Structure 1
Amino acid sequence: MKKILIIALLMVGVKGTAQTANSFFETANTFFKTYISNGKVAYDKLHKNPEDLNKVIALAQAVNVTKNNVNTYQAFWINAYNLSVIKGIIDNYPTNSPLANAGFFDKVKHNIGGKNITLNDIEHKLLRAQFNDARFHFVLVCGAIGCPPLISEAYLPSTLNTQMDAQTKKALNGNFLMVNIKKKRVEASQIMEWYKEDFTMNGTTEIDFINTYRTEKIPANFKIKYFEYNWQLNKQ
């Protein structure tokens, strides 16, 4: 009888955790649809009325995900990162750049997913260190114009891989790269310089990675340079 009771309590706990995660994903999806347009954030609107932001952050605080369900884990922490960036901007608003606020990425703590962590912790410890996937760089949005654009929907466990592929393709077929045919040169975002090891895993080159997602392929003999990152705020 005692064993049955323990199993029942565990099942209730699992069900409750799943419901909390589902509520978070639904609320986050509504939030992004409401406040994100063409990759830009409605910071003025959120600063005047932060209730929706505070609501989704409160839900994120109560979510508990594990790597046992990889898609749920990754989708949660990608959304949590993007939401925490927005919260960090609103907490310092008005501001022209995330870098205008000391410790924005490496010192300021966020109460998310039962943890008290920095943005760098989410990106480098919970995601990059756990999974060898360079696509994270196209879905984690740091609040700057130089970042790949923020999408107007939440990343969901059921569609995560498709969404990550879509954002990577959008960036590598868009202004994340500038190709100069005459000079046989590709100019790429500094993200590809800062995290070169992520784009050259398993003996591949940066151009190999680019061509995996790019429609118009780049010749293997092209040289790569990097253009300066634009840290101006991604504001509507």
Structure 2
Amino acid sequence: MLTPFLLRAEDNNTLQLLHEPWGRLLHHHVTTDGRLDYEALLDEEDKLLAYLESLRKVKPDPSSWTRDDTKAFWLNVYNASATYLVLQYYPVASINDIRVKTVSGVKSPWEAPVVNVGGQSYSLNQIEQHMLRNQFHDPRTHFALMYGAASNAPVLAEPYDGTRLGAQLDEQARRFINDSAFNQLTPQRALLSGLFQAYSAEFGTDAQVLAFVNRYARIPVLPTAQVEYQSFSWALNDRSALSSSHALNKR
């Protein structure tokens, strides 16, 4: 029977080594524009599976992990799990097209138990909601989570690291907000990604969204600017171009 051990992080090298296999895969298969080359990654699917299986033996240690260590850990777990799920069904036009067979019936990719951490199984929604949103209340995580969608933020070509997580999340927010493929900003008008609207519970009202955007925007948006939201494409964030659009409605 598997007995998870508490992974201590006194020197922080422990966590960096844990996520190193995932980091090598990201380095090799994330394109310059932040997409993922799933077809090429198929050749290294066994390495991704080995990384995920290593997590079965890990139980995060709240006595030695910082909050950023824990947040970075769950971001990496989510992203690697979502990627492996897509690979199992690849080629697929959208992650939303996946249906996972489980002992209790067929489940969506968001509700199926897709990863085991420390002997406990988690779905992607459980990780996002309970391990990240409820614990940390940090809207920047939505620019770090890999939803497998063309309209999610460009993928970071390295794992998240608790020792520099704040800088990584700020850079993800800056990159996403200033990319005209996702957000189009002028002083008088903000045409924003549907991601902001879908997670309005965290980003807030239009005025609060503009205040958040202005923390990172190269072109400041006036508080009186018109705010509109774009549709969110659930076409797979593969290396190829967009192929279809779907409403942001996975929940």
1:177 aligns with 2:180: no
Counterpart position of 2:220: 217
1:163–1:192: structure 2 CA closer, same or farther, 3 Å change rule? same
| Higher alpha-carbon Rg | 1
Which structure 1 segments of 5+ residues have no match? 1-11
Counterpart position of 1:32: 26
1:208–1:91: structure 2 CA closer, same or farther, 3 Å change rule? same
Task: Kindly indicate which of the two structures has a greater share of residues assigned to helix.
Answer: 1
Per the TM alignment, residue 55 of structure 1 is displaced from its structure 2 partner at its CA by 1.9
The residue identity in structure 2 corresponding to 1:196 is S
Question: Which of the numbers 83, 88, 93 marks the counterpart of 1:91?
Answer: 88
The residue identity in structure 1 corresponding to 2:70 is Y
- Counterparts of 2:214 and 2:16 in 1: how far apart (Å)? 35
The residue identity in structure 2 corresponding to 1:188 is L
- Counterparts of 1:27 and 1:64 in 2: how far apart (Å)? 18
The residue identity in structure 1 corresponding to 2:198 is W
- Counterparts of 1:13 and 1:108 in 2: how far apart (Å)? 23
Per the TM alignment, residue 185 of structure 1 is displaced from its structure 2 partner at its CA by 2.5
Given the two structures, how large is their TM-score scaled by the length of structure 2?
A: 0.80
Per the TM alignment, residue 21 of structure 1 is displaced from its structure 2 partner at its CA by 3.3
Aligned residue pairs total: 222
Question: Which of the numbers 59, 63, 68 marks the counterpart of 1:64?
Answer: 59
Question: Is this contact kept in 1: 2:140–2:169, CA < 8 A?
Answer: yes
Counterpart position of 1:122: 127
Counterpart position of 1:200: 204
Question: Is this contact kept in 1: 2:186–2:220, CA < 8 A?
Answer: no
Question: Is this contact kept in 1: 2:113–2:123, CA < 8 A?
Answer: yes
- Counterparts of 1:204 and 1:55 in 2: how far apart (Å)? 45
- Counterparts of 2:50 and 2:147 in 1: how far apart (Å)? 21
Per the TM alignment, residue 113 of structure 1 is displaced from its structure 2 partner at its CA by 4.5
- What is the SS of the residue equivalent to 2:153? coil
Which structure 2 segments of 5+ residues have no match? 1-5, 100-107, 240-251
Q: Within 5 Å, which residues of 2 pair with 1:99-114? A: 99-102=96-99, 103-114=108-119
Q: Within 5 Å, which residues of 2 pair with 1:5-20? A: 14=8
Counterpart position of 1:42: 37
